[in-house]
Amino acid sequence: MRTTFDPDDLGARRFYRLLTAVVVPRPIAWVSTVSVEGTHNLAPHSFFTVSCVEPPVIQFTSVGRKDSLRNVEATGEFVVNLAPRTLFAQVNATATDFPAAVSEFDAVGVRREPSCLVRPPRVADSPVALECRLHATIGLGDSTVVLGRVVLAAVASEVLDGEHPDVGRLAPLARLGRDEWGTDPTVLEISRIRWADWPGHYRSDGAADP
């Protein structure tokens, strides 16, 4: 038995709460931008994912017209910082609706460092920063999808296992439903099965595998 929910009957805000409770866990783009006036903005966005491999493009969604979106549109640049467990309280605090002229870096006490290729600063204590230039924006109802081309990835050496970031060392935060957050993901490892290795398939020479 299932309980069904019609978005039109439930209403936008109540259905939003349902969606964000079932589309979980959601990675967090901790987006740093700079305004035309030079104010450094920092805000978490949990509608975030990879959009393209070549060229490398990532995306986050601004629900409503927030400072992150306005700054990206005006300057064409942003940085996505990984939101680590060690900065849990600060990540949450930067979601406060500070006035545009107030820097969340300063108000919350988040250390910044200069980026290499873009103007917005990186979060100094985040293990990963993806420096991006705006690729495109897509308006969808009350939201805007921001697509950014990654021009540089800066990864803390201590979280790397060779060239591979170790998820245990990254300790990423994730958003769940309500005011719930996730951390310390349980890691399950399994290889994908290629069709060529699928039991019982027919080989290219026409013979059946045993």
pLDDT per residue over 141-200, tens digit each?
999 999 999 999 999 999 999 999 999 999 999 999 999 999 988 889 988 888 878 877
Q: Could you tell me if residue 1 is inside a domain? A: no
In this structure, is residue 55 part of a structural domain?
Answer: yes
What does the pLDDT read at residue 171?
Answer: 94
Total domains in the fold of the chain: 1
Tell me the pLDDT of the chain (210 aa) as tens digits.
999 999 999 999 999 999 999 999 999 999 999 999 999 999 999 999 999 999 999 999 999 999 999 999 999 999 999 999 999 999 999 999 999 999 999 999 999 999 999 999 999 999 999 999 999 999 999 999 999 999 999 999 999 999 999 999 999 999 999 999 999 888 899 888 888 788 776 555 555 555
Closest CA to 79 of 123, 36, 31: 31
208 within domain boundaries: no
Q: Does residue 204 lie in a domain region?
A: no
CATH of the domain at 152: 2.30.110.10
Let me know if residue 189 belongs to a domain: yes
Q: Is residue 210 part of a domain?
A: no
Residues in the chain, overall count: 210
Contact 132, 150 (CB under 8 A): yes
Range of the domain at 122: 7-197
In a domain, 69, yes or no: yes
Instruction: Flag whether 205 is in a domain.
Output: no
Instruction: Please give, one letter per residue, the 3-state secondary structure of the chain.
Output: CCCCCCHHHHCHHHHHHHHHHHCCCEECEEEEEECCCCCEEEEEECCEEEEECCCCEEEEEEECCCHHHHHHHHHCEEEEEECEHHHHHHHHHCCCCCCCCCCHHHHHCCCEECCCCCCCCEECCCCEEEEEEEEEEEEECCEEEEEEEEEEEEECHHHEECCEECHHHHCECEECCCCCEECCCCCCCCCCCCHHHCCCCECCCCCECC
